[in-house]
Amino acid sequence: MFSTQSSDSSSSKESEANLSKFDPSTFDEYAGLYEKMLTWPYRKELELPTLRQLLGDLSGLKVLDFGCGPGVISRWLHEQGAEHIVGHDISEGMLNYARRREEKEQRGIHYSSDLVDKYNEYFDIVLGVYVMPYAAQREDLLAMCKTMARILKPGGRLLTLPIHPDFHSDPEFYRPFGLRLIEEQPRADGSQVRLHICQPPYDVNILAYYWSRQTLEKALYDVGFQTVSWKPLHVNDNPLSEELSLYVQCPHAAIIECVKEKIC
Amino acid sequence: MLIHSHEPANPTLFPNIGHVDRHEWDALVSDQDFFNSHGWLASLDYALGEGDVFTLYGNAGLLGGSALWDGEKQPGLFYLPDYFPGLDGPWQEPFLWVGARRSTHNEIPCVRGRRRGEILSTIAKTLAHLAKRRGYYAAIVPYMPLSQALEVAKSYPHARVIMHSAEATLAVPVGGLDSQLQLQRSHHRVRAKAELTAFSRLGNRVEWCQLDESLLESATELIANNREKYGSHQGPDWMRRIFDGQKKSSVIGAAVAAVAKRGDEISGVTIFYRFGDTLHARYYGSNYQISDNDFRYFVLTYYHSLDYAAKNGIRECRLSISALGAKALRGAAIEPLAALLLFENTPPVSARECDNYNQHFYQHYEQQHGSHLTPDWALLDKRKILCCI
């Protein structure tokens, strides 16, 4: 659902490797599923409040939903007060869903499959939810990070959610949250992790890739981020259910906040 | 990225489109296929009574589907015995009609991506079975874009693709009407300018309006006038019912009207619907008490629609199946529409018969419309592809 692709020549140098491996049509039939997943408890009660807190006041800011899928996060950003939102994805099936909703709802969100030159250093915030896990190779990961850095203004922030480097090794641990993470290979950089979305009525398997803390940080620093911070899930004052309390102790996804270097 | 599982597909029939998530459905509907969109189908359910909807679900959601109906029993646009003159076949038998009621453009909403062929195959097979089970001879998708009919037929061996119609479309140049006229031959440009001049000289102007209650009431009468002129017995009450259905389904929100006014009086109106980057002309109404020698139909439906479209980021105007010659002369391209016939077993018409029929159909259109035919017509030259067996 993500892309490091751009139609401009400068970004084409970023990496072609990723593009040759990634089939964007893979996600074409999962728009409805991705839409509904945002209502699942761990997302609604933990992930979104954490992102809300980290994003802060969005008024007047230009925000990119990188790997927007059906636009569910883009619409959530709109509800959080963002006015200038671009959703980017390379799955046409996902974008179709997002665009049809936009036609009906008229929120002013623009959806695009291309991050063209005009978006260089354009955004104040880039939000990349569950896109890093789909980088299959180290160079793909780097290319993805490069693209996200390219389109951020100097001093702009990236919030991104990779697979947590310390996710629970028992696949069943996450079943109460609607998914399983099954390690197809011994855990190492680039090792395959099967994401089994098993919340009834869904039964979908998606192949993702593990990246260590060190590798993720290196990739992000290498492309020009000045700070890379790992953020804990925000737990508000309301007591969590027993299940969600367990999730907080060992979440399947991490949240990283990065700030792009300012020009001196 | 790999997906491991090949989820089974689950066919389900619903008594109306309201049972299907509108966002999931519309995500599968192309810009060109507005009359199979959720809002349009729901408006038909409200106006004409509920219509069955066939769906195919996978483990991640909706994969495809189509509306179903019975066609019509009287000669006209949806009467199978009129479809293929000279081609013998079971055309007097009852068929299960696939697509929106009275729509002259039908695709099969279906996911894109790697599994599309497999899913289209399952849909075709299931529709053929369903038709048989319900006592029909077979299933038919009328007025289907040729390339898509061939795409389905490629994945289902008991399908036949037989040409029976065509529709007009206008690509919208960035510069609107002026740019379009520059692309035309000089005598076409002269005619267009003469028609526009006559329209203005007689005191007309064009306004683009949303359909409020007052305009709807006027438009209803004018559309009924026009339909009566061309033989329809469905008066204003019918149109009110149709528009009431559109209000209930909210699809009326996609409508915009080009209104010709002379003084305070409306002399003509064309109602369009926007879907994605496409504008669909659907209804035309005229006040015949005001002499109609002012080319109001062409001015509203072709000329001004191009400027409106260009200003509003629309890429294409779709102008339906009638009066193709007049539309082509004013810059429209003519796209081929086929009937996709889905039989449960060996079809009663051979591939060769279909092929011959289609060749004659193509020749006829080529003689009539020549360079106005779109490249898709060339698919009819590929005889081996045509009927897929």
**Pick from B238, B250, B239: which is nearest to B18 by CA?**
B250
* A201 contacts B113? CB cut-off 8 A: no
Has residue A80 been placed in a domain?
yes
Strand arrangement of the beta sheet that strand B95-98 belongs to: B10-14, B53-58, B61-69, B95-98, B138-145, B333-342, B159-171, B316-318, B278-286, B265-275, B255-262, B204-209
> In this structure, how many other beta carbons lie within 10 angstroms of the beta carbon of residue A102?
19
- Only one residue has tokens 């969600």, namely A244
Domain ranges for chain B: 10-167+334-386, 173-314
Contact between B275 and A201 using a beta-carbon 8 Å cutoff:
no
Asked, for residue A231, whether it belongs to a domain, the answer is yes
Q: Please, which pLDDT band fits residue A20 given cuts at 50, 70 and 90?
A: very low
A28 touches chain B (CB under 8 A): yes
Query: What is the spatial distance between Cα A91 and Cα A25, in angstroms, rounded to a whole number?
Result: 5
Tokens representing A164 are 């947590």
CA–CA distances in Å: residue B309 to residues B314, B317, B324: 5, 8, 21
Q: For A100-131, what is each residue's pLDDT tens digit?
A: 999 999 999 999 999 999 999 999 999 999 99
Of all residues in chain B, the one with the smallest CA distance to A92 is B112
- Classify B68 in phi/psi space as left (phi over 0), alpha (psi -120 to 50) or beta: beta
Q: Is a pLDDT exceeding 60 seen at residue B253?
A: yes
Pick the CATH number of B173-314 from 2.60.40.1220, 3.30.413.10, 3.40.120.10, 3.40.630.30: 3.40.630.30
Place of tokens 């395959």: A192
What pLDDT sits at residue A238?
Answer: 77
pLDDT digits (tens, 9 = 90+) for A131-162: 999 999 999 999 999 999 999 999 999 999 99
Q: Is the pLDDT of residue B256 over 90?
A: yes
What's the pLDDT band for A11 if we cut at 50, 70, 90?
Answer: very low
* The CATH number of the domain covering residues in B10-167+334-386: 3.40.630.30
AA letter at A248 = V
Q: Are strands A84-88 and A62-66 parallel, antiparallel or unpaired?
A: parallel
> φ, ψ for residue B365 (rounded to 5)?
-70, -35
Is the per-residue pLDDT at A257 higher than 80? Answer: yes
B112 contacts in A (CB within 8 Å)? 25, 28-29, 92-93, 96
| A103/B276 CB distance under 8 A | yes
| Residues contacting residue A12 through CB under 8 Å, at least 6 positions apart | A6
- Mean pLDDT (whole number) for A216-244: 92
* B6 Cβ contact list (under 8 Å, min separation 6): B115
With an 8 Å Cβ cutoff, is A10 touching chain B? no
CA B180 from centroid of its chain's CA atoms: 23
State how far the Cα of A67 lies from the Cα of B349, in Å rounded to an integer: 48
Which DSSP string do the residues of B101-120 spell out, in sequence order?
TT-S-----B--STTHHHHH
What would the two tokens of residue A183 be?
């390690």
Do the strands A62-66 and A123-129 form a parallel or antiparallel pair, or are they unpaired? parallel
| DSSP 8-state secondary structure symbol assigned to residue B373 | B
* Domains B10-167+334-386 and B173-314 belong to one CATH topology: yes
Structure tokens at A228: 């890379």
Residue B296 has pLDDT above 70, yes or no: yes
Q: How far is B273 from chain A (nearest CA, A)?
A: 12
ipTM of the complex, rounded to two decimals:
0.89
In Å, how far is B159's CA from the nearest CA of chain A?
25
In this structure, of A6-10, A27-31, B2-6, the range with the lowest mean pLDDT score is A6-10
Task: Dig out the tokens for A68 from the structure.
Answer: 């927007």
The most distant pair of C-alpha atoms in chain A lies apart, rounded to whole Å, by 53
Q: Sheet of A179-183: strands edge to edge?
A: A179-183, A192-197, A204-209
Task: Please name the residue of chain A whose CA is at the shortest distance from the CA of residue B2.
Answer: A207
Residue A61: CATH number of its domain: 3.40.50.150
Closest CA relative to residue B94, chosen from B140, B63, B125, B51: B140
Mean pLDDT of B222-227: 92
Closest CA to A31 of B25, B219, B202, B310: B25
Contact: B59, A202; criterion CB under 8 Å = yes
pTM: 0.91
- Taking the CA of residue A127 and the nearest CA in chain B, the distance in Å comes to 21
Length of chain A: 264
Whole-number average pLDDT of chain A: 90
Backbone angles phi, psi at B112, to 5 degrees: -90, -160
Helices (H), chain A: 9-12, 17-21, 31-37, 41-42, 48-55, 72-79, 92-105, 138-150, 213-222, 242-249
Any domain includes A235: yes
The reported pLDDT for the residue numbered B68 is 98
Q: Is the dihedral of CA A51, A53, A56, A58 positive or negative?
A: positive
Helix (H) / strand (E) containing B133: helix B116-133
pLDDT of B79 reads 97
What range defines the domain where residue A223 resides?
Answer: 9-168+212-260
Instruction: Identify all chain B residues contacting A194, using CB atoms and an 8 Å cutoff.
Output: 4
Q: How far apart are CA A104 and CA A107, in angstroms?
A: 9
Nearest by CB to residue A202, choosing from B60, B253, B275, is B60
Nearest to B112 among A25, A35, A202 (CB): A25
Q: What pLDDT, on the 0 to 100 scale, is given for residue A227?
A: 97
**What phi and psi, each to the nearest 5 degrees, are found at residue B288?**
-80, -5
Distance CA B106, CA B160 (A): 16
Identify whether A244 is part of a domain. yes
Asked whether residue A195 is domain-assigned, the answer is no
Q: What would the pLDDT profile of B86-143 be if each residue is shown by its tens digit?
A: 999 999 999 999 999 999 999 999 998 888 999 999 999 999 999 999 999 999 999 9
Write down the pLDDT at residue B382. Answer: 59
The DSSP 8-state label assigned to residue B37 in this structure reads: S
User: pLDDT by residue (tens digit) across B34-92?
Assistant: 999 999 999 999 999 999 999 999 988 999 999 999 999 999 999 999 999 999 999 99
CA dihedral B260, B266, B269, B273 (to 10 degrees): 100
Q: What is the mean pLDDT of residues B250-258?
A: 97
Q: How confident is the model at residue B230 (pLDDT cuts 50, 70, 90)?
A: confident
Would you call B59 and A92 a contact, using CB atoms and an 8 Å cutoff?
Answer: no
pLDDT: is B248 or B187 the higher one? B248
For residue B33, give the DSSP letter: G
Q: Is the pLDDT of residue A54 over 80?
A: yes
As given in the structure block, the two tokens for residue B22 are 């509108």
Contacts of A27 in chain B (CB under 8 A): 1, 113
Residue A145 lies in a domain: yes
Answer yes or no: do A32 and B115 touch at CB < 8 A.
no
Write down the pLDDT at residue A264: 59
Of B3, B254, B276, Cβ closest to residue A99? B276
- Spatial separation of the C-alpha atoms in residues B138 and A103, rounded to whole Å: 36
Query: Measured between CB atoms, does A35 come within 8 Å of chain B?
Result: yes
User: Does A114 map to a domain?
Assistant: yes
Domain count, chain A: 1
